[in-house]
Chains A and B, each alone.
Chain A
Amino acid sequence: MRASRLARTLQYGALAVYMVFLGFPLVWMLSTSFKPPREMVEIHPTLIPHNPTLDNYVAAFTEQELGRAALNSLQVSLSSAVLTVLVALPAAYALARFKTKLGTAALGWVLLSQLFPFVLLVIPLFLILRQVDLVNTHAGLILVYVVWALPFALWMLQGFVRNIPRELEEAAAVDGATRLQVLRRVVAPLLAPGVVATSLFAFISAWNEFFFALVLLKSPDLATLPVTLARFVGVEGIARLGPLAAGSLLATIPSLIFFAFLQRRLTSGSLAGAVKG
């Protein structure tokens, strides 16, 4: 009993250290965003600014259209996440449940597709999108993001499907449920954590993506957040740290909200004891 309490303490200690490790850059960014330029080059920098200022936030917002960029990003990322899941879900179910020779080959192909570096793809992709008039549109960018996130999303989701015991579906069928009812009443609720995890993955990869957004979107009105924030970085690694920190901090807020919104669904373990060993 005492040993386990000690182990527990150590576990939480390690967790706390890890949290500090993860959180520190964010805290430093928060601190930098309130510092006037002079305090950024102090030889002994402090975590709490001596003369906190909102100038960096004002600069970030007046010089770049961060609000519009955030809306653009939100639109693109949410749409990509939803579309990715909508396409991946049926495919993942089919791959996991129906045994065909194609299944293994398909999964292999999915993994293989992850090996291509995207710099190889960007020019052909650009040319294709241009032919169908999707360059310089959010729709084109979303299409790229969905295609980009799909293989991994598929791989992830089919793992979740596989984890749902087939016996549950069979039991429901024995009780007279139709195929659709089985899917809706049994599979869907159990798959929710998987769907949440997958959409988070798709959302974050679209939210952070820089290069495709830079190349595909030409009009300043359409630019996403990463592209807009990059404008605070200058030559030879010198950046306008204050506005950059302020902008980046604000840029994390929507994704934090999205996470908070979805993470409650991210609980698994509802399957424990579903099937008797």
Chain B
Amino acid sequence: MLRKLVAVSAALLIGLSGCGSGDDDDSSSSEGPVKLRFLSLAWQKESLTANRELVDKWNAEHPDIQVEYVQGDWNSVHDQLLTSFEGGDAPDIFQYESAAIGEFAKQGYLADLSSLVSSDLKGEISDGIWKTVTFDGKVAGVPFLLESQVVLANKKLLDAAGITVPAAGQSWTWDEFQANAQKLTKSGTYGVAWALKSPTNRVMNLSLNFDGKFFYTDGSKTEVKVGDAEKEIPRRIHDMIYVTKSASPDAVGMGGTDPLPGFFAGKYAMLPGGVFLRQQMVEQAPAGFEWVTLPPIKGLSANQAANPQTLSISEDSKGKKQAMQFVEYFLNPANMARLAQGDWLVPTGKKAGEELITSTGGKQGWDVAVASAGDLTIAPFQTVDGYPEWKTKYATPALQQYFANKITLDQLGTQLVDGGKQVLR
């Protein structure tokens, strides 16, 4: 029997030489169509379909610029890109996010798009968003999808408590939000579930509401400061859990989608989270469950940090101009609207937003989602080199302890500042 197995595998091995080689020819240097490889990170069903159809359509209309669609995944894309840049075999065009491409841009792996982007596309996207992809004056990618923090709520519980749903653009203040959470808290139901397993990004994002910057740069020196502005958001969340008890202490250790079963079962009336959670509502909410999307909460402003998904072009690509042509096509208002809809995220382009409102009628929270794009901007933490290290080593453990009621707000502040001193030397 073993002998048979050996024979079979030998046959397979011989077969390999025939079918095992992919095309690795050097696209544009010779005659014939320019070949471009596009690494996409789409993974939702609708967004996958949209991506594939757009690429197919492009290929049919542009016989001289052929794009190969390659699907990657979010968890391994960083290592994949890093090795392919080092090995000199990077995709021509790739999808990623602004927080991550700065590192690649600084190492010279990415083409500077500032002279390649058309004025049309440039004008569609706000300056605050362009800033998140600009490093040392070079544009490292085209931002196209945004995630904003909104609040999903159980409509029946809101109605029962006599709370009216605010319209898009009519945000509640934090005080109103906290008061309403209190009203919604009854036996067996908490007003809010704050899922705080990975608290740092969320606290950094929301702290912009009160102008909490955390990172302060003076000349070439950056340091972490935790003053009253920075303490607002942590204190308010902590109070809801431990002082007014309007937020569930069980949810503190949960990740983004973990509170969903409790939310659907009526254990939590409101669920702050990213706009993409709306998809889970559509797909997974039990029959008869009514949900609404509340606009982002506001403090001094409703500002939040923007970490847009991006399309970048490799410095080594032999068809940068052609790649940019494809990106321009891929992100024209109609296509960008379709991609945003497929991923349940907010498009960066103004016209794409309008188009999305028209095509969806603003339903399923699209009115709120599109309106929130105006509040998204660059935050200080996004430009700090040591941020990822500070976040993992110091900020996340400290915030977790604070939200578990194990340290005080002042201790939290000290730990964040001390961590900053270690990382930002």
Contacts and interface: CB of A to CB of B under 8 A. Distances in A.
Given A138-B16, A138-B20, A265-B2, A211 B76 contact: yes
B1 A142 contact: no
Interface stretch (B21-29, B149-157, B161-169, B377-385): B21-29
Contact of B76 (A127, A130, A136, A214): A214
B9 A37 contact: no
A63 interface: yes
A154 interface: no
A38 B9 contact: no
B22 A222 contact: yes
B284 interface: yes
Given A42-B261, A231-B73, A219 B43 contact: no
A54 interface: no
Given A38-B286, A79-B12, A195-B2, A217 B22 contact: yes
Given A40-B284, A79-B12, A234 B44 contact: yes
A67 B73 CA distance: 19
Contacts, number: 136
B387 to A, nearest CB: 17
B89 A135 contact: yes
A171 interface: no
A108 B286 CA distance: 60
A215 B79 contact: yes
A157 B118 CA distance: 63
B17 A139 contact: yes
A82 interface: yes
B404 interface: no
Interface in A59-85: 59, 63, 74-75, 78-79, 81-83
B9 A79 contact: yes
A41 interface: yes
A237 B264 contact: no
Contacts of B5: 78, 82, 261-262
Interface in A240-275: 240, 261-262, 265
Interface string B65-100: 000011111111001100110111100000000000
Contacts of A78: 5, 8-9, 12
Contacts of B262: 43
B48 interface: yes
Contacts of A122: 83
A167 interface: no
Interface string B275-291: 01000100111110000
Contacts of A236: 198, 255-256
A126 B86 CA distance: 9
A16 interface: no
Nearest to B49: A63
B15 interface: yes
A63 B48 contact: yes
Contacts of A261: 1, 5
Contacts of B198: 236
A37 B284 contact: yes
Interface in A109-164: 119, 122-123, 126-127, 130, 133, 135-139, 142
Interface string B40-64: 0001110010000000000000000
A175 interface: no
A209 B228 CA distance: 50
B116 interface: no
A82 B10 contact: yes
Contacts of A74: 12
A119 B198 CA distance: 26
Interface in A199-246: 210-211, 214-215, 217-222, 230-238, 240
B76 A210 contact: yes
A59 B23 CA distance: 29
By Cβ-Cβ distance, the 5 closest A-B pairs, closest first, are A219-B22, A138-B20, A126-B87, A82-B9, A136-B22
6 contacts: A38-B283, A43-B264, A126-B89, A218-B24, A218-B89, A220-B71
Given A74-B12, A231-B43, A235-B74, 8 more contacts: A41-B280, A41-B284, A43-B265, A75-B12, A78-B12, A136-B24, A211-B76, A234-B73
